Chains A and B, each alone.
Chain A
């Protein structure tokens, strides 16, 4: 019998690269679930051209629950996108030996853009959009 427990594929044997691979998968699946909800909700709300429904939906999305989820979404998209660039670099034969260092670079860039996003998001939490 094939004992996956004794191979690198078992989580307690994972190296950094495997964890990042798993994180790319999980973030991808979560983003797909979000994506289809997003497309369906927005399309439903916008198809009547009057716009009350869209504005109601947007008001709902500015409640604390949805605002917190927005941060999760931003983090997930940034990680999946920037790590995706890292994967494509490897496909092009670039930086495979530096994969760990490049991952930390990805995290730095993700954190920087995330911090910027938080600064734009904060006024909504206070209930005072700037514009």
Chain B
């Protein structure tokens, strides 16, 4: 009976952890697919669509008058930050950190990610008709 209990314990722990791992793994794939679209659009619009176009603030501001472009930029920042930082976590995980060290890394990555997204969103605020919350 004791053996069964241990087995059950091991099985349930393993399944939970694999389950969470699978979700993160899937999200890395889904964000990759989204990036093919968002980053493809980013490169296309800024560098390929009009051959040899010089990037100016006026041009960017003009484009951002269309709410769809603001939305695409916000989504791009969110997805690319997730994909990049989760990719770093995958690399870090392969170094077999202790559970505590890994938790610290996860928290650090979350802070960097959230702050970076807020910075990106803040820069887009003026184009949505609001003042930026902070400037340098």
Contacts and interface: CB of A to CB of B under 8 A. Distances in A.
Nearest to B52: A130
A39 interface: yes
Interface of B: 29, 32-33, 35-36, 39, 43, 47-48, 50-58, 60-61, 77, 80-81, 84-85, 87-88, 91, 112, 116, 119-120, 122-123, 126, 132, 134-136
Of the four ranges (under 10, 10 to 19, 20 to 34, 35 or more), the interface on chain A belongs to 35 or more
Contacts of A129: 52-54
Contacts, number: 94
Nearest to A91: B29
A116 to B, nearest CB: 8
Interface string A62-86: 0000000000000001000100110
Chain B contact residues: helix, strand, loop or mixed: helix
Contacts of B123: 42-44, 46-47
Nearest to A131: B53
A47 B35 contact: no
Interface in A1-54: 25, 28-29, 31-32, 35-36, 39-40, 42-44, 46-49, 51-52, 54
